[in-house]
């Protein structure tokens, strides 16, 4: 029995040392506490072994050894208490009780050490065993020993309570972590009490100290984390959102979780589905040596498409032998859907569903990079679109834009792309052969009528750019198509314009003129030229004031180059004001020089009426300069009067009543010239030069001319014909009864100095 005990204790000591070395190498929490505890247990067991091995003749040594054993049991429970606090996550004792316990443990130890000499705690006696072969030490406890017992048992009870409390509170998977230690500790206490009650020859509880220490290290190292891990794994497989197919090494399906069942089909055929899935996969990935392969795939189940991230895994043992396979299916449908929505938002115009600008640019580049035929870019713009918003509301405006987008989408053929640049500006790239101008215009017109009242007609413009260089920047192509639109903007009789290189030239010219206009006006680069007007008796009536630009680099620039540009830009009134003032000043000067019978005709542009108070301007001029109002004649073109704008007609009436003569310029160049005469009470009719041009219909022209002249006679209006270039024309006009002439035959427009030199 004795030898068995010795052998057992020796084995337990070595086992505990092995545990210490394992724990030291691991990364577990509370490692220090566990090591302390096991070393203490090792020490306790060693002390006991030392005690039982002391030979009978060394009684004092036996007392010392037994004292060491007793005091170490005191420290063992102290360390057990510290470990228990960490292990159970119960807040450790605060400083004061810790100090008390520490002091008691120290006093207990001291008492046992002193006992070696005083024998106040216990005595030992060498006894012969019943077999008369072995001898053992019998310990005789004295009264003061009770203090040691109280100290140790109360700590033990405290520890048991901690474990019991945790055991009750802990979730099921953690219960084992506490229950085993609780059970062992109870056993230690019970055996200890039993040994002392039965006055056993040996303290068998020492064996349990060691097993307790060993099982604590086992639990700290493995047991509970592994259990937890198993639980987590099974939770992931069972309850997770990841579908799972598992197979043995022969490809036989050994498990399918519910998620996978739902992803693929009903339970009925799921095993067959899983098995054929694996065999198809292996066929597809033949020759791929990877053990883990991930792929995005879709499955259709009951007509519903599911996007999956499939991970295939082959399991191998440490020797590389195949253990089995598994598939994990992660449902990405929602993610893919969100991604697609994001993608759509990032690349589309939300109102129309067409590409947005940046996506359109990419799309055009992509299409043109693969272009095998000519392409064109078509831009559209609705005239006065903001009126739709104002009159019918923005909803109606939005509906119109959406309708146009639909129309453009329907037009798309071959590789095409459309976008809304902003507001009502659209742009389409399409193969040239599919652009059918008539069809496009018709579709556009039909769209423009949608939802709006029939009295409201929207006009629109199309700019077409035939792409010659596919590598040209996309926005340059767009600018060119827009340039074509800009060149017809404001025209009601044109809807389509094709970009030509001259357009670019024209736009550059426009920019140049507008850029230097202010300075040119300030530096008086604009000069008044005069073209004489001659009466039918050959006498000089006066002159028409015609502007010339003395460009510092280009020389004399004729008015048809810059007047339309200034009119379009709304700047013509500033030039006209300057010309009218020059004419008024000149008339005042001539009056002073005794030439008050000469008149000057000035041109008034329609645009002047929008930017100026024309009546007020001429009233002020008459006030500022001393000239005869009758001598300043105001030429206004027939086309300006044709629109019959109330304010213009009123202004002209007012000017007439102030004494100014109004001349209708370019008479006969319009469509309803005669109708005009009934509404406007002009003073002089200035017949356009087209009637004098040599054409196939010269005869008809002369007839018309004759009739205009005779009709104006009847109306009591003097007539002047412009563009008289030959004697023949002059003679004919004279015969027809024309009152005055203006033309190269008599004189070309000339500087004021030249004019004065020639006629004064
Ligand atoms: P317009 O008012 O019809 O002026 C008559 C134009 O006919 C002038 O051209 C004149 O030089 C030209 N002309 C005169 N006799 C003959 C001829 O026998 N044969 C031919 N082929 N042409 C002749 P110009 O000076 O180039 O002016 C062109 C237009 O520019 C004018 O047409 C007028 O509409 C505008 N314009 C000229 N000066 C001004 C101005 O100060 N203000 C405004 N608003 N417009 C002006
Ligand atoms: Ca004129
Ligand atoms: Ca004219």
Which residue's CA is the nearest one to ligand 1's atom 4? 546
726 in ligand 1 pocket by Cβ < 6 Å?
no
Over residues 36-62, the mean pLDDT reads: 93
Domain boundaries, the chain: 2-234, 240-336, 348-499, 519-759
Residue 101's alpha-carbon distances to 43, 138, 209, 362, in angstroms, are: 20, 30, 21, 80
Q: Is 723 in the pocket of ligand 1 (CB under 6 A)?
A: yes
**How many percent of the chain have pLDDT more than 90?**
62
* Collapsed DSSP state (helix, strand, coil) of residue 349: coil
Q: What are the residues whose beta carbons fall under 8 Å from the beta carbon of 645, sequence distance 6 or more?
A: 609
Q: How far apart are CA 422 and CA 381, in angstroms?
A: 10
Q: Where are the alpha helices (DSSP H) in 257-332?
A: 258-264, 270-284
Q: Measure 602 CA to ligand 2 centroid, in angstroms.
A: 7
Q: Which atom of ligand 1 is nearest to the CA of 744?
A: 18
What is the per-residue pLDDT for 225? 53
Task: Examine the pLDDT at 671 and tell me if it is beyond 90.
Answer: no
pLDDT in tens, 88-125: 888 777 889 899 999 999 999 999 999 999 999 999 99
Q: Which of 517, 603, 684, 685 to mutate to test the pocket of ligand 1 (most atoms within 8 A of CB)?
A: 603
pLDDT band at 352 (very low <50, low <70, confident <90, very high): very high
> Could you tell me the distance, in angstroms and rounded to a whole number, from the CA of residue 508 to the centre of ligand 1?
24
Mean pLDDT of all residues in 29-41:
87
Are 108 and 71 within 8 A, CB to CB? yes
* Mean pLDDT along residues 343-369: 95
Ligand 1: which residue has its CA nearest to atom 11? 749
How many C-beta atoms lie closer than 10 Å to residue 332's C-beta?
17
Determine the distance separating the centroid of ligand 3 and the alpha carbon of 561, expressed in angstroms.
16
- Of all protein residues, whose CA lies closest to atom 20 belonging to ligand 1? 723
pLDDT tens sequence across 540-552: 999 999 999 999 9
Distance 214 CA to ligand 1 centre (A): 118
Q: 597 CA distance to ligand 1 centroid (A)?
A: 23
pLDDT of residue 563: 95
Q: Say if residue 391's pLDDT is above 70.
A: yes
In the predicted model, is pLDDT for residue 407 greater than 80? yes
Helix (H) or strand (E) holding 81, with range, is: helix 59-87
Report the C-alpha gap between 110 and 562 in whole angstroms. 119
The chain-wide mean pLDDT, for the chain, equals 90
Question: Between these two residues, 673 and 484, which has the higher pLDDT value?
Answer: 484
pTM of the predicted protein model? 0.55
Q: Whose CA is closest to atom 15 on ligand 1? A: 743
Helix (H/G/I), strand (E/B), else coil: 130 = coil
Query: Within 13 Å, how many C-alpha atoms sit on residue 230's CB side?
Result: 7
For the ranges 70-84, 209-223, 515-529, the lowest mean pLDDT is seen at: 209-223
- 494 or 92: which carries more pLDDT confidence? 494
Give the pLDDT score at 455: 67
Q: Is the pLDDT of residue 9 over 60?
A: yes
pLDDT at 639: 78
CB of 640 sitting under 6 A from ligand 1: no
Tokens 């597809």, located at residue: 284
β partners of residue 748? none
Q: Which secondary-structure segment (H or E) carries 269?
A: none
User: Ligand 2 mean position to 604 CA, how many Å?
Assistant: 8
CATH classification of 2-234 is 3.10.20, yes or no? no
Which letter does DSSP use for residue 668 in this model?
A: T
Distance CA 298, CA 306 (A): 5
Distance CA 576, CA 534 (A): 24
Structure tokens at 650: 């009123």
Ligand 1 pocket test target in 528, 664, 722 with most atoms within 8 Å of CB = 722
Determine which residue's CA is closest to atom 45 belonging to ligand 1: 603
Q: Which atom belonging to ligand 1 lies closest to the Cα atom of 666?
A: 3
pLDDT at 600 over 70: yes
Cα(116)–Cα(64) distance, rounded to whole angstroms? Answer: 5
CATH fold of 240-336: Beta-Lactamase (3.30.450)
Provide the pLDDT for residue 172.
Answer: 73
Predicted confidence at residue 77, as pLDDT, reads 94
Ligand positioned closest to the Cα atom of 548: 1
Max alpha carbon distance in the chain (Å)?
177
Nearest 5°: CA angle at 720, between 716 and 725?
155
Residue to mutate, 521, 543, 559, ligand 1, most ligand atoms under 8 Å from C-beta: 559
Q: Are 647 and 625 in contact (CB under 8 A)?
A: no
678-686 average pLDDT score: 87
* Residue 259 in tokens: 């998620």
Confidence (pLDDT) at 668: 85
Measured distance CA(350)–CA(10) in Å, rounded: 83
CA 410, CA 403: separation in Å to the nearest integer?
Answer: 11
Q: How far apart are CA 139 and CA 298, in angstroms?
A: 81
Q: Which residue lies with its CA nearest to atom 22 of ligand 1?
A: 723
Q: What pLDDT, on a 0 to 100 scale, did the predictor assign at position 121?
A: 93
Yes or no: domain 519-759 corresponds to CATH 3.20.20.450:
yes
- pLDDT attached to residue 497: 96
Q: Which residues contact 546 (CB under 8 A, 6 or more apart)?
A: 528, 529, 530, 531, 559, 603, 749
Residues near ion ligand 3 (CB < 5 Å) are 665-666
Beta bridge partners of 545: 530
Q: 461 C-alpha to center of ligand 3: Å? A: 30
Closest to 360 (Cα-Cα) out of 143, 85, 288, 368? 368
What is the spatial distance between Cα 381 and Cα 485, in angstroms, rounded to a whole number? Answer: 8
pLDDT at 693 over 90: no
pLDDT in tens, 495-529: 999 999 998 888 888 899 999 999 999 999 999 99
Residue 229 has pLDDT above 70, yes or no: no
Of residues 296 and 226, more confidence is placed in 296
pLDDT in tens, 712-741: 988 899 999 999 999 999 999 999 999 999
pLDDT at 587 over 70: yes
pLDDT of residue 644: 63
DSSP per residue, 734-759: HHHT--EEESTTT---EEHHHHHHHH
Q: What does the pLDDT look like over 142-190, one tens digit per residue?
A: 999 999 999 999 999 999 999 999 889 887 767 877 888 899 899 989 9
Work out the pLDDT band at 222, boundaries 50, 70, 90: low
Residues in Cβ contact with 545 at an 8 Å cutoff, skipping those fewer than 6 apart:
528, 529, 530, 579, 582, 583, 600, 601, 602, 603
- Candidates 3.30.565.10, 3.30.70.270, 2.90.10.10, 3.40.50.410; CATH matching 348-499: 3.30.70.270
Given a cut of 80, whether residue 696 has pLDDT beyond it is no
Classify residue 538 by burial, with Cβ atoms within 10 Å: 0-12, 13-18, 19+: exposed
Which pLDDT score, from 0 to 100, does residue 308 have? 94
**Is residue 486 over pLDDT 70?**
yes
Question: How many residues does the structure list for the chain?
Answer: 760
Strands 555-557, 540-551: pairing is antiparallel
Q: Residue 741: which residues within 8 A CB-CB, separation 6 or more?
A: 533, 534, 536, 720, 721, 722, 724, 730, 733
**Tokens at 91, concatenated:** 């807040």
For residue 546 and ligand 1, the question of a CB distance below 6 A is answered with: yes
Q: For strand 322-331 and strand 496-498, is the pairing parallel, antiparallel, or unpaired?
A: unpaired
**CB of 93 closer than 8 Å to CB of 168:** no
Decide: 572 in ligand 1 pocket, CB within 6 A: yes
Residue 265, pLDDT > 80, answer no
Mean of pLDDT values over 393-421: 91
- Alpha-carbon separation of residue 254 from 139, 245, 268, 318, 320 (angstroms): 64, 8, 15, 22, 21
Closest ligand to C-alpha of residue 576 is 1
Hey, which residues does 128 pair with through a beta bridge? 135
267 pLDDT band (50/70/90 cuts)? Answer: low
Q: In what order do the strands lie in the sheet with 375-382?
A: 417-422, 425-431, 375-382, 460-466, 496-498
């Amino acid at each position: 029995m004795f030898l068995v005990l010795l052998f057992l204790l020796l084995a337990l000591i070595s086992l505990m040392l092995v545990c210490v070395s394992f724990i030291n190498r691991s990364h577990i929490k509370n490692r220090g506490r566990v090591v302390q505890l096991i070393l203490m247990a090792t020490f306790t067991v060693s002390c006991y072994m030392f005690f039982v091995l002391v030979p009978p003749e060394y009684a004092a040594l036996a007392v010392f050894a037994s004292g060491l054993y007793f005091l170490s049991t005191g420290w063992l429970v102290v360390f057990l208490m510290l470990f228990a606090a960490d292990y159970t996550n119960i807040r450790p004792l605060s400083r004061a009780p810790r100090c008390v316990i520490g002091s008691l443990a120290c006093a207990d130890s001291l008492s046992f050490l002193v006992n070696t000499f005083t024998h106040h705690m216990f005595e030992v006696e060498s006894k012969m065993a019943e077999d008369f072969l072995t001898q053992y030490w019998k310990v005789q406890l004295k009264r003061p020993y009770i203090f040691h017992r109280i100290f140790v048992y109360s700590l033990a009870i405290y520890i048991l309570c901690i474990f019991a409390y945790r055991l009750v509170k802990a979730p099921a998977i953690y219960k084992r972590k506490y229950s085993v230690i609780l059970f062992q500790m109870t056993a230690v206490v019970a055996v200890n009490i039993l040994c002392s009650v039965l006055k056993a020859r040996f303290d068998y509880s020492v064996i349990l100290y060691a097993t307790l220490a060993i099982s604590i290290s086992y639990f700290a190292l493995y047991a509970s984390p592994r259990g937890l891990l198993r639980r987590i794994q099974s939770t992931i497989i069972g309850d997770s959102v990841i579908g799972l197919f598992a197979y043995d090494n022969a490809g036989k399906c050994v498990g399918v979780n519910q998620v996978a069942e739902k992803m693929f089909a009903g339970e009925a055929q799921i095993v067959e589905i899983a098995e054929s899935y694996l065999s198809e996969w292996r066929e597809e990935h033949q020759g791929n040596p990877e053990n883990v392969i991930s792929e995005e795939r879709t499955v259709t189940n009951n007509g519903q498409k599911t996007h999956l991230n499939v991970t295939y895994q082959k399991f191998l043992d440490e020797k590389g032998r195949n253990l089995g396979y598994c598939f994990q299916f992660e449902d990405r449908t929602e993610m893919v859907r969100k991604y697609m929505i994001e993608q759509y938002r990032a690349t589309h115009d939300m109102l129309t569903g067409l590409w947005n600008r940046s996506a359109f640019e990419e799309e055009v580049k992509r299409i043109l990079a693969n272009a095998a035929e000519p392409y064109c870019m078509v831009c559209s713009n609705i005239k006065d679109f903001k009126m739709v918003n104002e009159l019918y509301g923005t909803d109606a405006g939005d509906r119109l834009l959406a309708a146009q987008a639909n129309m453009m989408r329907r037009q798309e053929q071959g590789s095409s792309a459309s976008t809304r640049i902003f507001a009502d500006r659209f742009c389409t790239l399409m193969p040239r052969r599919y652009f059918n101008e008539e069809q496009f215009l018709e579709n556009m017109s039909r769209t423009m009528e949608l939802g709006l009242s029939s009295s409201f007609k929207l006009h629109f413009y199309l700019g077409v750019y035939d792409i010659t260089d596919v590598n040209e920047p996309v926005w340059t192509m767009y600018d060119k198509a827009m340039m074509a639109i800009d060149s017809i903007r404001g025209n009601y009789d044109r809807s389509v314009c094709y970009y030509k290189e001259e357009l670019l030239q024209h736009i550059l010219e426009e920019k140049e003129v507008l850029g230097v206009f202010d300075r040119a006006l300030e530096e008086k680069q604009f000069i008044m030229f005069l073209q004489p007007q001659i009466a039918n008796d050959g006498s000089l009536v006066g002159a028409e004031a015609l502007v010339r630009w003395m460009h510092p680099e280009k020389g004399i620039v004729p008015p048809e180059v810059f007047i339309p540009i200034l009119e379009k830009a709304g700047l013509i009134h500033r030039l006209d004001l300057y010309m009218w003032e020059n004419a008024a000043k000149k008339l005042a000067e001539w009056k002073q020089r005794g030439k008050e019978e000469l008149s000057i005709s000035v041109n008034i542009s329609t645009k002047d009426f929008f930017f100026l108070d024309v009546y007020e301007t001429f009233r002020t001029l008459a006030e500022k300069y001393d000239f005869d109002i009758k001598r300043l004649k105001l030429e206004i073109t027939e086309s300006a009067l044709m629109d019959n704008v109330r304010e213009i007609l009123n202004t002209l009436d007012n000017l007439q009543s102030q004494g100014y003569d109004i001349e209708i310029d370019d008479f006969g160049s319009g469509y309803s010239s005669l109708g005009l005469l009934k509404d406007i009470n002009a003073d002089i009719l200035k017949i356009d030069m087209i009637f004098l041009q040599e054409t196939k219909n010269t005869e008809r022209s002369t007839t018309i001319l004759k009739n205009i002249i005779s009709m104006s006679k009847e109306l009591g209006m003097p007539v002047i014909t412009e563009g008289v270039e030959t004697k023949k024309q002059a003679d004919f006009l004279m015969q027809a009864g024309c009152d005055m002439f203006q033309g190269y035959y008599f004189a070309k427009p000339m500087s004021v100095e030249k004019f004065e030199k020639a006629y004064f």
